[in-house]
Amino acid sequence: MVMRWIMGALLALGLTTGALAQAPAGLTAEQRAEVLQILRQALREDPSILRDALAGMEEAERRDRTAAQRAALAQQREALFGDAADPVKGNPRGDVTIVEFFDARCGFCKQMHPAMEALLARDRNVRVVMKDLPILGPPSVMASRALLAAQRQGKYAALYDALMTLRGEVTEPVLRQQAERAGLDWARLRRDMDDPAIQRRIDANLRLAQTLGIEGTPALVVGQTLVPGAVDLPALERLVAEARAGR
């Protein structure tokens, strides 16, 4: 019993009198003091005990997060992979689907864009579902509304590519310029941007991201794996290969 408490105290970082509060009720005050002295002496003689305890805690937390994340992905599978309203790049019938949550003004999203384009050029059997996630302020919301409105004219991908390569700020005049260069009818696009249905789709993406614990962009879902942050082409190819293998 004493040894189990010592390990529990280590895992709780009980190096002060707080450890005593966690001691089993069956121990006397003298026994508790003795155990605490043993604990302190052990840590002085071998500090790696604490390091190993911390590593064990971190690994247990990582496993718990991974399990919870996979459960959430399974629960939200239809919203992630099966929403027919979502814009799609690559092969619509691809055997592997990547879901990309992005903000059109996100620097890391722009950084990853060439890698994703290279993946789609190399692997003709990948489907990419686009989830607009405007989290960087009102200009991001405006850009997302424009992208989803552009989808109604069959020009989502063209405007997306234009915004991903844009180095300036997204303002309405800039957005109009990029939209017209992409072949969009600006007057129609501007009307559609204000359609409440567009905002409802954005809100749905925001709720889905929150449910999955996504805290920033870009974020990818590949198979049963949620990947936060930008990744390079080799990492994308590895994720696709793992998804194909069912891992």
3-state secondary structure of 145: helix
Q: How crowded is residue 25: how many other Cβ atoms within 10 Å of its Cβ? A: 4
Same domain, 121 and 229: yes
The answer to whether the CB of 33 falls within 8 A of the CB of 40 is no
Among the ranges given (61-70, 73-82, 226-235), the one the predictor scored with the smallest mean pLDDT: 61-70
pLDDT of residue 49: 72
Question: Mind listing the pLDDT tens digit for each residue in 1-16?
Answer: 444 444 455 444 444 4
**pLDDT score for 59:** 67
Token pair in block for residue 151: 């989808």
55, 74, 93 — which closes off a domain? 74
DSSP secondary structure string for all residues of 8-36: HHHHTT--SHHHHHTS-TTS-HHHHHHHH
Q: Kind and range of the H or E element at 98?
A: strand 96-102
Q: How many CB atoms lie within 10 A of CB 18?
A: 11
- Which 3 state secondary structure label does DSSP give 225? strand
Q: Same domain for 93 and 200?
A: yes
> What average pLDDT score do residues 21-26 get?
53
> Who wins on pLDDT, 36 or 142?
142
- Domain limit, last residue, from 74, 97, 122: 74
Instruction: Tell me the per-residue pLDDT of 118-138, one tens digit each, with 9 for 90 and over.
Output: 999 999 999 999 999 999 999
pLDDT value at residue 110: 97
Residue 138's CATH number: 3.40.30.10
What DSSP designation does 94 have?
A: -
What would the two tokens of residue 100 be? 């990309």
Mean pLDDT of 31-57: 77
pTM of the model: 0.74
pLDDT at residue 63, rounded to an integer: 61
Residues 60 and 81 in one domain: no
